[in-house]
Amino acid sequence: MSAPLETRELRPPPLEGGGRPATITLGFRQWGRRNAAGDNTVLVCPALTGDSNLGQWWPGLLGPDRALDPQRDHIISIDVPGGSHASSGPGHLDTDGQPWGERFPVLTVRDVVSLQRSLLHELGIDRLRLVVGGSLGGMQALEWAVDQADQVDAAVVIAAAARQSAWARAWNHIQRLALASSDNLALARQIAMLSYRHWDNLNERFAPQDTDRTVASWLDHHGERLKQRFNPISYRHLTELMDSHDVGRDRGGVAQALGQCPVPALILGIESDLLYPPCDQQALAEHLPNATLRWLDAPQGHDAFLIEQRRVNALLLSFRRHLRNGQAQSLELRA
């Protein structure tokens, strides 16, 4: 399901890392209509290299009778600022007509959420029925729930953690080294792909005797594809954006920040996720007072939220039914 790309230029709030560009443009797409009560908006937050074009990367969740249903919901998705899509980023022109390049400020997840909030406010949206995201999108969804608990009715946090672990920062560090040492975005993506898949999945897919479709050619393919669609400075900035994620920062730590968040949340973990492993979602669910923890028993690893769309859709539908029924109806345990 396609939706036209829209853009809006904003005066950004002060950024966490200091600095305040005169303007930032946000690119976004909308599906469905706002209802008269203005209480049916669902914000879907993209992951690292994804964009606002939900119909392209999450088609199994968007459509009539699906978890994101434009007949019932007003759905909005916003390109991550600092990235390589329609929102301002290093590859875009600054007001002086020159590309931002290295001058583009490194944003934090909180900055992204506060920019999203400014955009929604400009559009007259002050309440979210639901905020949803996987991976970097899950970090944004969680930050929304913690920071704007009085404006968010529910959150779905998929394959994410309360804060970026040392393990996840280490994967980002070596990707930035690949970028710094040889300007090698393709190599950075290949490194990242290993954190997005479980070894069982790769071992099963790429048998040693298959000389045409090797794991090496699969990695090469993904590296080359990213080179075609992403700005290397944006990519580095977005890895730093992920590393900024910590809902406990300046809030008394993770336990306190989550403990004070009453928002009903579906915490969806992927059992084979090597990047944000099940212990990350367990910790989230332990601290969030109104969390429902569910598992996607999928073999692929972290990227399963993009691959097993039918099952992710079923889990979200079940959570949304559960919310509509005043949480009286029990949830299916597994998809």
Ligand X SMILES: N[C@@H](CCO)C(=O)O
What are the residue numbers of the active site?
Answer: 135, 273, 302
**Minimal distance, residue 317 CB to ligand X, in Å:** 22
- Give the distance, in angstroms, between the CA of residue 42 and the centroid of all CA atoms in the same chain: 14
Per the annotation, does 303 bind a ligand?
A: yes
Count the Cβ atoms, other than its own, within 10 Å of residue 20. Answer: 11
Strands (DSSP E) found in 47-168: 74-78, 130-134, 155-158
Of the candidates 228, 238, 304, which has an alpha carbon nearest to the alpha carbon of residue 271? Answer: 304
Strands 74-78 and 24-31: antiparallel
- Closest to 228 (Cα-Cα) out of 236, 240, 220, 239: 220
- Binding to ligand ACO (CB under 6 A) within 129-148 occurs at 134, 137
Q: Which does 28 bind (CB under 5 to 8 A by kind): ligand ACO, ligand X, none?
A: none
Q: Give the nearest distance from C-beta 148 to ligand ACO in angstroms.
A: 21
Binder among 12, 32, 50, 223 for ligand X (CB under 6 A): 50
Provide the mask over 224-253, with x wherever binding to ligand ACO is found by CB under 6 A and - wherever it is not: -x----------------------------
Q: In this structure, what are the phi and psi dihedrals at residue 163, rounded to the nearest 5 degrees?
A: -150, 155
82: left (phi over 0), alpha (psi -120 to 50) or beta: left
Closest C-alpha among 149, 151, 138 to residue 112: 138
DSSP 103: G
213 binds ligand ACO (CB under 6 A): yes
Burial of 148 (0-12, 13-18, 19+ CB in 10 A): buried
- The answer to whether the annotation marks 20 as part of a ligand binding site is no
Pick the binder of ligand X from 49, 140, 148, 164 (CB under 6 A): 49
Find the binding residues for ligand ACO in span 276-305 (CB under 6 A): 303
164 binds ligand X (CB under 6 A): no
User: Which range, of 124-132, 209-217, 262-270, 280-288, touches ligand ACO by CB under 6 A?
Assistant: 209-217
Q: Rg of the Cα trace of the chain?
A: 19
Nearer to ligand X, 145 or 275 (CB): 275
Q: Which stretch binds ligand X (CB under 6 A): 14-22, 47-55, 116-124, 314-322?
A: 47-55
Q: Which residues of this chain interact with ligand ACO, rule CB under 6 A? A: 46-47, 49-50, 57, 134, 137, 213-214, 217-218, 221, 225, 303, 306-307
Q: Which residues of this chain interact with ligand X, rule CB under 6 A? A: 47-50, 135-136, 196, 303
Q: Annotated binding residues for substrate, as ranges?
A: 189, 303
